Amino acid sequence: LLFCFGRVLTPDVSSPEDKPEDEFTVVNISNYRKKVTHHGEKYKNRMKSKTGIKLPRQRVNRRTKANDRERHRMHRLNSALDVLRSILPALPDDAQLTKIETLRLAHNYIWALTETLRMADHFGEIPDYLHPHHEAYLPVSQVCMEHMGSPTSMSSPEGDSTSTSSTWHRNSADTWVDFNHREHNKQYWDESNGFYKEESSALPFSFYLTINDR
């Protein structure tokens, strides 16, 4: 999956103490390259008190240790987010999901998978694309979005129902799964828009997966 992402490179989380303070690493974050200094080089002057009074050595040592722990804690958090990104549907463009987008997409992705199972129950059968031996089989985890528009833009809940940023993944002649960048709210299955009709006994149906709040 990391290969699938290609561009998802984890920041260097190896022990920062291993690096000289002046050294920096260029890492790929999002779709840009970013300099990351090690061991708080650019912040080291903040260890002075606001009044300019020299702080007791013990206090400085405590604070330094706490900073290290906090830094490592955030690195672990970021590593966990990378793992989460790796199992979410890949983005089509060369951009990594931000933290908030990752969490929102994960939330909505779980919701979509839950809906898939619920619909399978409802229709009494598993959709074609979930049958491993069906020609239309498509592991949900490998569904990729061809276009999501701006990851941070907030599209209108009511408008844009046939958004040009829609991503349609054809799985069979009659079944489409749409992991779409589209705003959802409590009416995300809006029948008036014809996205999904619960009473319909037949496919097609669509899933809209968004990184925005629902």
Q: Which residues bind DNA (CB under 7 A)?
A: 11, 16, 29-40, 42-44, 46-47, 49, 62-71, 73-75, 78, 98-101, 151-152
Residue 127 CB, shortest distance to DNA, in Å, is 33
For DNA, the closer of residues 36 and 113 by Cβ is 36
For DNA, the closer of residues 146 and 191 by Cβ is 146
For the chain, helix, strand, coil in percent to 5 are 35, 10, 55
3-state secondary structure of 161: coil
3-state secondary structure of 78: helix
The token duo for 85 is 């990104």
For DNA, the closer of residues 26 and 120 by Cβ is 26
Residue 40 CB, shortest distance to DNA, in Å, is 2
Residue 68 CB, shortest distance to DNA, in Å, is 7
For DNA, the closer of residues 74 and 117 by Cβ is 74
For DNA, the closer of residues 30 and 141 by Cβ is 30
Residue 205 CB, shortest distance to DNA, in Å, is 31
CA dist., res. 32 & res. 193, Å (int): 38
Residue 60 CB, shortest distance to DNA, in Å, is 8
CA dist., res. 96 & res. 102, Å (int): 9
Size of the chain in residues: 214
The token duo for 46 is 């903040």
Q: Tokens 């993944």 belong to which residue?
A: 169
